[in-house]
Structure 1
Amino acid sequence: MSGLSVAYQKKPVLRDVTFEVNEGELIGVIGPNGAGKSTMMKAALGLIPSISGEVLVYGKPCSEQRRLIGYVPQRESVDWDFPTNALDVVLMGTYGRLGWIRRPGAKEKAEAMECLRKVGMADYADRQISQLSGGQQQRVFLARALVQNAKLYFMDEPFAGVDAATEKAIITLLQELKKNGKTVIVVHHDLATVQQYFDSVLLLNVELKGFGPTSRVFTQDMLQHTYGGRLAFLDHTIAAGATEAHGGVSL
């Protein structure tokens, strides 16, 4: 990503953001509310217009690499009353490689069921998505991203509003994606788990405030620079996270 800028009604919400990610990393995007985290993801994917900048995926414009990219949006942005079941939602992840004419067949349905199994939702394949809990809905959307077999994943707050079991299932899945060489960029809001979950951290508040290995970037000074005077508990959060990481906590 190079020089990405976005404005709403002439007001800058993202200004000259430039960074390059390494393959096979889990990257957390953190910053205060209104910092432009979701906007950055949507602009990178071409879902909203940008006023400047470019996004390259494996050396080519993002628009030419759709099949290599998976996206999990914020749960609140989805119409959960749409009349479809969990399996059909996951099958939507196969449409990109099938094209407009072909419909998912037995092979695609088997792949979709396997992805539902990976997120613990195989028993809910025929359940209407409106009848699922928030955590279950999030798992279904993760399964939809998985079935794409992408190389790069964008996930917008996948841990928001989910129960402990779902959070554990999600981070286990992210670790599996990393193990398989995938790159995952995650908008995240829980500072207490940043050190446990992510290899690198991107600090954002309209502008890029810092980017690099979590051990180097996730510090009191860098977070204060990003959040300003709104995080009086930072010392405790960082110390607790460092203790847990040192203790070898694994999920």
Structure 2
Amino acid sequence: MLTNDQLLRYSSNILMSEIGEAGQQYLLNSHVLIIGLGGLGCPASQYLASSGIGELTLVDHDTVSLSNLQRQTLYSSDDKGLSKVRQAGQALSRLNPDVRITAIEQAATEENLDALVKPADLVLDCTDNRDVRYVINQSCYRLSTPLISAAARGFKGQLIALDPQRSHGCYQCLYPSSVKEPLNCSNAGIAAPVVGIIGASQALLAINFLTEHALPWGYLKTFDGLQQHWQKLYLPPAISCPVCGGENAHSS
């Protein structure tokens, strides 16, 4: 049952038939794990917190640097040298005290990911490291936890929603280990609004999923910020994929 304050705070959500009071209660009962509190994780976490996700677990081992401030909107110049995840947690708590926030100041690794993923309803991969994306993908598939993964550099961005219970490909299929590491925002630059668009899109997909709307599972969506153009491509499972292919494949 929503309180009077919650009815007012989330009135814009409740007024939409696609969410309504029941959908808002779903959001308040949900737990989302966000890995990476940089350019993608900042807008994604802000929109999820403001929308009333009941519990957010934030994971990041990095500290705020001056070069982050061009695109990482949760931080200010006063935060330089401080823990990203702790500063993000404090900012999100100020934004919405309804949200239960757990800030974990450590890197996501093979050793700790299963314990982080297991209690979550949904995982958002907002990292900028392909090796970390591999282990996030592996953990989500091992535990059958839905995953929304995204990346951005320059004027381009991409995101994909993955459901381990369906027969589409996974992140390992998209970027096999033999493929050279693509450039990221630390070595290729990034237009700040692009990470805002992609991070906000991750949050929107998360809200759609948590309020029981259909998602474009297994479709890679790419964004060209110069042309203002979106493209959608289906990702089939690779037969040789060690995570979801061959005998590991699920049927939809």
TM-score range, shorter chain: 0.3 to 0.5
Greater fraction of residues in helix: 1
* TM norm structure 1: 0.34
TM-score after normalising by structure 2: 0.34
| Larger-gyration structure (1/2) | 1
